[in-house]
Amino acid sequence: MDFNKVTQGKAVPLGIIIIIITYLISGSSSSILPFIFITGILVGIMKNEEVAESTVAAFLSTLIGAVVATVISLIMMYMSYGPIYFTYMLYSSLYSLVFYIIAGTIGGVIGYYVYQELDIKK
């Protein structure tokens, strides 16, 4: 697996954009965990050469996308409720961030195997 090959193409940036757009559309009122999982599946389908490649691509896209969504959420909470609620949200957001990254990475692996099961020839 070549790291340059993983970051090459449109799969990782597209995954990041999908995560950010679904976060902005859904708002902070709902969990974006299912959307991140589905985005991981899509990235795994797009990066289908090796299972390691699709896993790393899904990991990168969910890592960057979830961090950006968490930062946006924390900024909105700080502006709305002040610094005391911000510290509480910071700690709970770190737990959510770990779950988002795990779900996206698992989605990437599942996306790779879905592509292999579809048996699409290039």
Q: What is the pLDDT of residues 21-71, one digit of tens each?
A: 988 888 766 678 888 999 999 999 998 888 999 999 999 999 999 999 889
Q: Model confidence over 92-103: pLDDT tens digits? A: 888 889 999 999
Give the residue carrying structure tokens 């995560």.
19
Nearest to 73 by CA among 36, 33, 16, 29: 29
Taking the model in full, what pTM does it have?
A: 0.86
Across residues 85-111, what is the average pLDDT? 90
- Ordered by start, the domain boundaries in the chain are 11-24+33-117
Return the pLDDT at 8: 82
In order of 46, 72, 79, 84, 120, the CA distances from 104 in angstroms are 14, 19, 29, 30, 23
Return the pLDDT at 121: 66
pLDDT at residue 110 above 70?
A: yes
Measured distance CA(45)–CA(49) in Å, rounded: 9
**Single-letter code of the amino acid located at 61:** S
Nearest to 31 by CA among 111, 114, 80, 93: 93
